[in-house]
């Protein structure tokens, strides 16, 4: 079985030609997939019935990802979906909307996609990291998350404006499928979103960051730092290496020099752990004149014992960085109350699923 959402436009052309069809059939399929959102091949009405039957006979399908649950925040700006993949494994993805800049404009609609079921990085403060790892997601499953939300937005006369690979899992640990998904989503004959509207977040796989820099893509890169020193970072991120802080900063600099895209360092602020004045000064000294951007993220409630810092501590941490010449902002969090914010994604039904699977 092959999901049509897996095929790049060039591969779609090759497929239709091999099946004895004219080349333009590929564009008919692509237009339908990314603008009409069919649920089955029979709904691609631009194609002759006989060719639709042939596609089904040859084992082609559409969208193996199915929505099983939806929850929306009280302000209506954040929606979290629980999706069931082809093998019935559940995964979460999130839509975050922000007010339009113009009075009558469309809202900014950012889709946060997952790339793995669970995560093997084991970050002690992250709900997904505490789930453990099940499997990598396929590119079509990643794209399917965007398509689900694109259909929801289309029904309201809106559209996807940004995509962030910040959901469940480590994108660069599922490198080839993540890159295929980016190619499908940015291809002008595919979903067609601009490369600069996509950001990949990573806990820091150095070799994959360097590999990403060579992909000739203009996507953003966000590196989860969380500490200015290796001892603390290794405790927060068990998979971190002995010199991970310096290695990540250097990798970020190489990415910037190769792509021209400024790197963001994400920093989850945890009460009494990494939010002190001393640590802020240590981080400022490390990143001063680096040219990067620091995104401060007050810890969101998870199943662990870690706490969100007081607002005054967050402001003081930001002030120290800013006064030291470090470009920084405090992230505007959305969906905290529905466990849809950064670090909160964890499929509550996963235990039930595992019990059934056994």
Task: Please give the positions annotated as active site.
Answer: 92, 342
Q: Quick one: which of 269, 270, 176, 171 has its CA closest to 222? A: 171
What's the N-to-C CA distance of the chain in angstroms? Answer: 25
d(CA 115, CA 93): 10
d(CA 99, CA 84): 30
Please write down the long-range contacts of 93-99, taking CB distance under 8 Å and 24 or more positions apart.
Answer: 93/145, 93/148, 93/149, 93/167, 94/167, 94/335, 94/340, 94/345, 95/149, 95/152, 95/153, 96/334, 96/335, 96/340
Nearest-Å Rg of the Cα atoms of the chain is: 21
Query: With 0-12 CB in 10 A as exposed, 13-18 as middle and 19+ as buried, what is 280?
Result: buried
Distances, alpha carbon 159 to alpha carbons 90, 109, 110, 151, 281, in Å: 25, 7, 9, 9, 41
> Residues 326, 318: contact at Cβ < 8 Å?
no
**What values do phi and psi take at 113, rounded to 5?**
-105, 155
Find the length of the chain: 358
């Amino acid at each position: 079985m092959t999901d049509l959402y897996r095929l790049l436009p060039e591969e779609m052309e090759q497929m239709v030609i091999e099946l004895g069809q004219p080349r333009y059939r590929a564009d008919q399929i692509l237009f339908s997939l990314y603008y009409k959102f069919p649920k089955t091949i029979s709904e691609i009405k631009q194609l002759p019935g006989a060719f639709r039957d042939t596609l089904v006979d040859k084992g082609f399908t559409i969208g193996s990802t199915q929505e099983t649950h939806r929850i929306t925040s009280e302000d209506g700006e954040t929606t979290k979906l629980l999706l069931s993949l082809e093998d019935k494994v559940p995964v979460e993805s999130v839509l975050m909307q922000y007010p339009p800049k113009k009075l009558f404009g469309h809202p900014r609609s950012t889709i946060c996609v997952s790339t793995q079921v669970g995560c093997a990085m084991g970050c002690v403060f992250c709900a997904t990291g505490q789930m453990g790892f099940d499997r990598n997601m396929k590119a079509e499953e990643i794209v399917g998350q965007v398509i689900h939300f694109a259909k929801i937005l289309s029904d309201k006369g809106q559209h996807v404006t940004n995509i962030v690979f910040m959901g469940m899992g480590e994108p660069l640990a599922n490198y080839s499928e993540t890159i295929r998904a980016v190619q499908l989503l940015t291809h002008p004959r595919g979903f067609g979103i601009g490369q600069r509207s996509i950001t990949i977040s990573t806990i820091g796989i150095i070799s994959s960051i360097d590999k990403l820099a060579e992909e000739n893509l203009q996507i953003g890169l966000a590196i989860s730092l969380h500490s200015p020193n290796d001892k603390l970072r290794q405790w927060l991120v068990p998979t971190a290496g002995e010199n991970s802080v310096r290695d990540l900063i250097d990798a970020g600099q190489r990415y910037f020099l190769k792509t021209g895209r400024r790197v963001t360092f994400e920093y989850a602020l945890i009460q009494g752990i990494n939010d002190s004045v001393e640590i802020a000064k240590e981080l400022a000294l490390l990143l001063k004149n680096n040219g990067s951007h620091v995104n401060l993220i007050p810890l969101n409630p998870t199943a662990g014992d870690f706490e969100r810092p007081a607002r005054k501590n967050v402001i003081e941490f930001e002030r120290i960085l800013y006064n030291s010449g470090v470009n920084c902002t405090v992230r505007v969090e959305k969906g905290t109350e529905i466990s849809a914010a950064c670090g909160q994604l964890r499929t509550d039904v996963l235990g039930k699923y595992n019990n059934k699977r056994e």
